[in-house]
Amino acid sequence: MRADALRPPPALDWGAARAYDPAHMATFRILLTPGDGIGPEVLEESLKVLSRIEKRFGHEFQYEEELIGGASIDRHGVALRGEVIDKAKASAAVLFGAVGGPKWDDPKAAVRPEDAILGMRKQLGLFANLRPVKIHPALLDESTLKPEVLSGVDLIVIRELTGGLYFGRPQKRWETARGRQGVDTLRYSEKEVERVCHVAFQLARQRKKRVTSVDKANVLRTGQLWREIATEVGKQYPDVTLEHILVDACAMYLVRRPASFDVIVTENMFGDILTDEAAMLAGSMGMMPSASLGKRRKDGTGIGLYEPIHGSAPDITGQKKANPLAMILSAAMMLRLSLGLEAEAAAVEAAVDSVIKEGYRTPDIGGASSHVVDTVKMGSLVAERV
């Protein structure tokens, strides 16, 4: 199809526009869904930091809290209730901890904790998942990669979040005379690819103006579709350079020359895999925030869901070993992207920076540091510096 037949870019200027006039809208409703495992522990620390922001900048955050994931299965029999979605829709943002754990791990169970996060993404229409990877110079030695490979890494992966293999139908398992079978469906529509590509190009405009679109166009029909549409959308952003690479090559380049990337845009499953790999550049999953965004509402606001990418980490739950920085940095993304509070977001990020610079570490990034602190102490240190 012709590029000029594409719809105009949707109003998705996340990060540039201010969603609220701070003089008039200083009260924000935020839904808290701590979930399972270390989710509640790290969420608690982000609230400490947000409470400092309220005081320093004169805002008021109104919280509601809901069970999700395994905790909700235990209480309500399902991982995500309709009421929780309704409350999310009535909020400016959702702060999401983590879901899952060995207690609910039976792959054949009718309900699974993961239904909560997948349901939130789908039902709230959060199609663009932003996963930034920036390496703090003081943490260069914590990564398994050589410091010279890592130096200068500052990339962001935009993962398509509501399509592809995660949601395509049919998706089922069954038994036949010749054994068990299963199917998942990788399907994308033009509109789904187009809107997430717009997010990537718009973000690139605020950064180094480079987009890498990742697909498997040499094998998959959806990959060819993806490449074609990414190219068409790219024509609307002549100031941004677009390159296409295959997902297997991308996995390789991420460890070989990670500093060469700016904005990476890719489909759901590839994004899931590549972002775990990319998290390792920063030394620990405990450092990686994320934002999941949908369309803006007519009034310019837009709901976003903010979560650390590390998951529930059942092996360290309750031991105060979890690194709360990913959750705290996710809260900073919320301030910037859903609440339009740029200075406040920057204040949180600066506080995290100085805590790291001062040498404080949780065990996951501890290395040989003599300043290893627990989850609660780390949260307090950041809060004090806001």
Catalytic residue annotation: 166, 216, 248, 272, 276
Which tokens hold the place of 36? 């399972």
113 binds, among ligand IPM, Mg ion, none (CB under 5 to 8 A by kind): none
The reply on whether position 267 binds Mg ion by CB under 5 A is no
Beta strands at 27-35 and 93-98: parallel, antiparallel or unpaired: parallel
The reply on whether position 114 binds ligand IPM by CB under 6 A is yes
Q: Interaction with ligand IPM in 299-338: which residues (CB under 6 A)? A: 309, 311
156 by Cβ neighbours in 10 Å (0-12 / 13-18 / 19+) ranks as buried
128 — phi, psi (to 5°)? -120, 120
Question: Which stretch in 82-90, 112-120, 191-199, 345-353 sits in contact with ligand IPM by CB under 6 A?
Answer: 112-120
- Cα of 325 vs its chain's centroid, Å: 14
Report the residue from 262, 272, 349, 364 that binds Mg ion according to the rule CB under 5 A: 272
- Measure the CA–CA gap between 353 and 381, rounded to whole angstroms: 11
In the complex with Mg ion, the residue whose CB is nearer, 142 or 272, is: 272
Nearest to 370 by CA among 358, 380, 381, 382: 358
Sign for the pseudo-dihedral over CA of 231, 234, 235, 238: negative
Question: Which stretch in 2-10, 56-64, 113-121, 176-184 sits in contact with ligand IPM by CB under 6 A?
Answer: 113-121
Percentage helix, strand, coil, to 5, in the chain?
45, 20, 35
Sign for the pseudo-dihedral over CA of 82, 87, 90, 91: negative
Rg, the chain, Cα only: 20
In the complex with ligand IPM, the residue whose CB is nearer, 305 or 337, is: 305
Closest residue by beta carbon to ligand IPM = 114
In the complex with ligand IPM, the residue whose CB is nearer, 188 or 360, is: 188
Q: Interaction with Mg ion in 73-102: which residues (CB under 5 A)? A: none
| Residue written as token pair 């979560």 | 307
Q: DSSP 3-state assignment of 215?
A: strand
DSSP string, 9-42: PPS--TTTS-SS-TTT--EEEEEEEEESTTHHHH
Question: Which stretch in 61-69, 110-118, 187-195, 252-260 sits in contact with ligand IPM by CB under 6 A?
Answer: 110-118
The reply on whether position 192 binds ligand IPM by CB under 6 A is no
In the complex with ligand IPM, the residue whose CB is nearer, 117 or 282, is: 117
In the complex with ligand IPM, the residue whose CB is nearer, 117 or 325, is: 117
Rounded to the nearest 10 degrees, the angle between the axes of helix 375-385 and helix 39-57 is: 10
Report the residue from 272, 344, 349, 364 that binds ligand IPM according to the rule CB under 6 A: 272
| Residue written as token pair 């460890």 | 255
- Measure the CA–CA gap between 265 and 197, rounded to whole angstroms: 7
220 to each of 154, 223, 296, how far by Cα in Å? 30, 5, 32
67 binds, among ligand IPM, Mg ion, none (CB under 5 to 8 A by kind): none
114 binds, among Mg ion, ligand IPM, none (CB under 5 to 8 A by kind): ligand IPM
Question: Which stretch in 86-94, 96-104, 229-237, 271-279 sits in contact with Mg ion by CB under 5 A?
Answer: 271-279
In the complex with ligand IPM, the residue whose CB is nearer, 36 or 232, is: 36
Question: Which stretch in 111-119, 147-155, 185-193, 366-374 sits in contact with ligand IPM by CB under 6 A?
Answer: 111-119
Q: DSSP 3-state assignment of 229?
A: helix
54 binds, among Mg ion, ligand IPM, none (CB under 5 to 8 A by kind): none
In the complex with ligand IPM, the residue whose CB is nearer, 53 or 326, is: 326
Task: Please state the closest distance from residue 249 (CB atom) to Mg ion, in A.
Answer: 20
* Binding-site ranges for Mg ion (CB under 5 A): 272
**Interface with ligand IPM by CB under 6 A: which residues?**
114, 117-118, 272, 309, 311
